[in-house]
Amino acid sequence: MFLNQQQVSDYKTNGFITGIQVTEEDETQRYRNLFDQLETKEGREKCQIGLVDRHFDQKFIWELATHPSILDCVSDLIGPDVLLLATHFFCKYGPQEKFVAWHQDVTYWGLEPAEAITAWFAIDDSDRENGCMSVIPESHHDGIREHGKSDQAGNLLSINQEASVTQEDEKRAFDLILKAGEMSIHHGKIIHGSLPNRSTRRRCGLTIRYIPPWVKQIEENSMKRGWKVILLRGQDQEKNFGECPMPFSIN
């Protein structure tokens, strides 16, 4: 086990854990340099939320998605059989009004049961000033809330979705402050979002989504396509998704 019993129990109760160090300083710097190179190639506009599933062509993203420390933590939480569902960067440049509205990840993913888990790996330091992610603790216990459209301009979410939250919920929000190279892990049903980046520093995080093998896709996701799911650890007896080969080997 990589996580201790307290962390496993906190995840079950609160729907998240945070401050887990994944990479040492030189490795963290290497990943930041590789992201910087991708950013130069793709442009900032695209980098905000347009880098989806690039683990298929960018080896460094694949390396992070299959990083042993991340997989060890994920296995401790969802079991020994781990499938990679997707990767997606959320990159906010500052100072700007772009934000991520409150939402629950699994709402538009078409999965049944809607069980997914996300590792949010900090490429850059992520704090209140540059718009770190916030979660509403324990909100993953209450099922899927109604999602409408955000009436505030600048929501980075693909279909401008926003979950209805009360002022009480907002008061309980917990900020996931991370140093580059650390990660938080959140449950697919926890309500989370992030405020605008008010700093002049970039705030980039790689979200890595995983599922256990008993999850099926029963509807199209909001990107109107099937997931390209890869078995990373253990076994997939269910074979609910077509076989997708690994784009690179696992180190």
Q: Which residues would be at the binding site for ligand AKG (CB under 6 A)?
A: 90, 100, 105, 118, 120, 133, 192, 194, 205, 207
27: left (phi over 0), alpha (psi -120 to 50) or beta: alpha
CA angle 14, 130, 29 (to 5 degrees): 90
**C-beta of 28 vs 207, nearer to ligand AKG:** 207
**C-beta of 101 vs 229, nearer to ligand AKG:** 101
**C-beta of 50 vs 234, nearer to ligand AKG:** 50
Min CB(38)–ligand AKG separation in Å: 17
* CA–CA dist 5, 39 (Å, integer): 39
Min CB(136)–ligand AKG separation in Å: 13
- Structure-derived torsion over alpha carbons of residues 44, 227, 109, 94, reported in degrees to the nearest 10: -10
Min CB(239)–ligand AKG separation in Å: 27
Min CB(118)–ligand AKG separation in Å: 5
**C-beta of 110 vs 205, nearer to ligand AKG:** 205
CA angle 174, 179, 183 (to 5 degrees): 65
